Structures are given as C-alpha cells and as structure tokens.
Amino acid sequence: MNANAKPPESYQSRFLERDVAEDYACREYGAESYASSIWEWQAPLVRRLLEEARQEEPAGRHLDFACGTGRITRLTEEIFSEVDALDISPAMVGLARATCPQARFFVGNILESPDLCPGPYASITAFRFLLNLDPPLRLPLLAGLRQRLNPGGMLLINLHGNRHSLRQPAILWKRWRYGNSTAKDGLMLNDMSENEVRRCLESSELLVERVYGTGVLPPTVYRWPLRRFWSWIDCRLSAMRFLRHFCIDLIFVCRRKDSPVK
Ligand SMILES: C[S@@+](CC[C@H](N)C(=O)[O-])C[C@H]1O[C@@H](n2cnc3c(N)ncnc32)[C@H](O)[C@@H]1O
C-alpha cells in the first residue's frame, strides 16, 4: 500500500479545472478508448429507452443531469425538442456547449440551489455519476432528481463500475498498489454492487423497473491486439440475459414510486 496516497477530493470539485475537463474528454472518450468502444453499442440502447420516454410524453422535456462534456446531451437533442443539461463544473459545460447547439445549459448545484432546473421533466439521464459521488450526497441528489421527474417520467441512471464484474480484479490490484479512490493520476477506483444501487434508488422513493448491462470482458482486453474482435465478442456476451448482472456497466430504468401504473 502506498503510504503517500493523497486524501480523496470531493467528486463535486473534481472536474472544475479546464485541463481536467479536457483530459476527461480526450482520454476517457478518445477514439480507441474502452469507454468509447462500450458507448458504440450502449448508445442504441439508451436511444431506444429515451424514445420510449418520449412516446409516453411527446411534449415532455428532458434533463441531462451531470452532463459533463455533453456525450448524453448530444443524443437527447436528437430525441427531445427541449433539453436542459446541468453540471456543477463550468469547464465541463463549456466543452458540452460547443457540441450541443440545441440544449439549454445550466451550471450549479441542486443541493445549494433547489430552484435550479425545477422541471418537471418527462425523463432524466444521470450517467457516470452515482458511482464516484461522495456517498453522503447520493441520497440527497437522487431525491433531488426524483423531485424533478414527472410522476409518470423515466429516470435512466447508470453504474459504470459494477463490483460483480470482471473489472473488479484490476480495481483490487490498483487499490492495493496505489491506495484508495483518487489516489494517483486521477484514478477512480470505486465500485458498487447492483444491490447497493437498488437500495439507494429505493430509499429515494424510486422504483427500479428494468436493468440492462453492457461490457462483460475486462477493459484490459481492449488494449490487446484485435481490439475490434474483442469488442464484437463483448457486445455478444452483453446481450446474453444471464450475464446481465455481471456486466461492468449497468443501466437502471427507474420510475417514481408514486408513478401511475402503466
Ligand atoms: C464523469 S462525468 C460524466 C459526464 C456525462 N454524464 C457522461 O456520462 O459522459 C461526471 C460529471 O458529474 C459532474 N458532477 C459532479 N457532482 C455534481 C453535482 N453535485 N451536480 C451536478 N454535476 C455534478 C462533474 O462535474 C462531471 O462533469
């Protein structure tokens, strides 16, 4: 264990600097990255789910919460006529604005400004957010999202580090090697189980309607030769229902508990 590990910073302030925001855009979503490969086949699923939400409420508005550089916002602009996108980091919003011409962007913290993007929204997306968020903030922020959702609306939230997946051995090794969480080079070494996420959602008066999984093979495989071949295999494995709960990335389709029965 590395005794010089820095104490973890709050996730809320992690992307405030412009160079960190740019690094996230270039490194995490660079052309050959693991995250980009997974997104290639996760995007059609997210599109289908959002189209479902739009059909349920054709005039409804969408909120992309913790929009970051606008990866999800761009997709939602193709589906909804009105999209709001919110992030705590002005630097991330600056990058998102440049590629999302239709969305209305907001910078701020809904816990400090409860009137920010009050909704109600037909659907809300919150991707790559819950896992790394400081645990005491999870329930208040989920409650804030629930409050902004129409009673019949849909919340899509993902877990991009399922503990019960083949990502875990590498995470355990890195934790042992570098110390916990954001200790070295901005490594994020957090994990959560599907049940932990379900408990957070249920404690926030949200009901999990369905869960989808993406990515069975460990990210390391994507650095081996024949990357496109492994991606093809991974896509097929992810489509197998019995492997869903062991995927690295899980998408939870949620409704408010007081949602009218469909
Ligand atoms: C890893 S990025 C994900 C961006 C985008 N959702 C995606 O999937 O590509 C996480 C984002 O959450 C934002 N964030 C962290 N805490 C937040 C909060 N309390 N309210 C709004 N955004 C927050 C960060 O600034 C960062 O842009």
Q: How many domains does the chain have?
A: 1
pLDDT at position 60: 96
Determine if ligand 1 sits within 6 Å of the CB of residue 39.
no
Mutate to test the pocket of ligand 1, among 23, 87, 156 (most ligand atoms within 8 A of CB): 87
Amino acid of residue 90: P
Q: What are phi and psi of 143, to 5 degrees?
A: -65, -40
Nearest CA owner, ligand 1 atom 9: 71
What residues pair up with 256 in beta bridges, in sequence order? 206
pLDDT at position 188: 85
pLDDT at position 184: 47
Is 86:64 a contact under the CB 8 Å cutoff? yes
The domain containing residue 251 runs over which residues?
Answer: 11-256
- What one-character DSSP code corresponds to residue 129? -
Region at 9 (left for phi over 0; alpha for psi -120 to 50; beta for the rest): beta
pLDDT at position 183: 45
pLDDT at position 179: 77
- Of 117, 89, 118, give the one whose Cα is nearest residue 19: 89
Mean pLDDT by 10 residues, the chain (262 residues): 50 87 88 91 97 97 98 98 97 96 97 96 97 96 98 97 96 86 66 98 98 96 92 95 96 94 64
Is 3 part of any domain? no
Is 219 part of any domain? yes
Is 4 part of any domain? no
CA of 106 to the centre of ligand 1 (A): 12
pLDDT at position 6: 47
For residues 1 and 140, give the distance between their C-alpha atoms in angstroms, rounded to a whole number.
Answer: 33
Coil, helix or strand at residue 159: strand
Is 6 part of any domain? no
Q: Which atom of ligand 1 is nearest to the CA of 15?
A: 25
CA of 33 to the centre of ligand 1 (A): 19
Is 36 part of any domain? yes
pLDDT at position 30: 86
Element (H, E) at 208: strand 206-214
Give the angle subtended at the CA of 190 by the CAs of 94 and 7, to the nearest 5°: 80
Is 96:70 a contact under the CB 8 Å cutoff? yes
Is 143 part of any domain? yes
Q: How many CB atoms lie within 10 A of CB 168?
A: 15
pLDDT at position 1: 37
What residues pair up with 203 in beta bridges, in sequence order? none
Nearest CA owner, ligand 1 atom 2: 68
Task: Please provide the distance, in angstroms rounded to a whole number, between the alpha carbons at the two ends of the chain.
Answer: 52
Amino acid of residue 217: L
CATH number at residue 102: 3.40.50.150
Is 1 part of any domain? no
pLDDT at position 217: 97
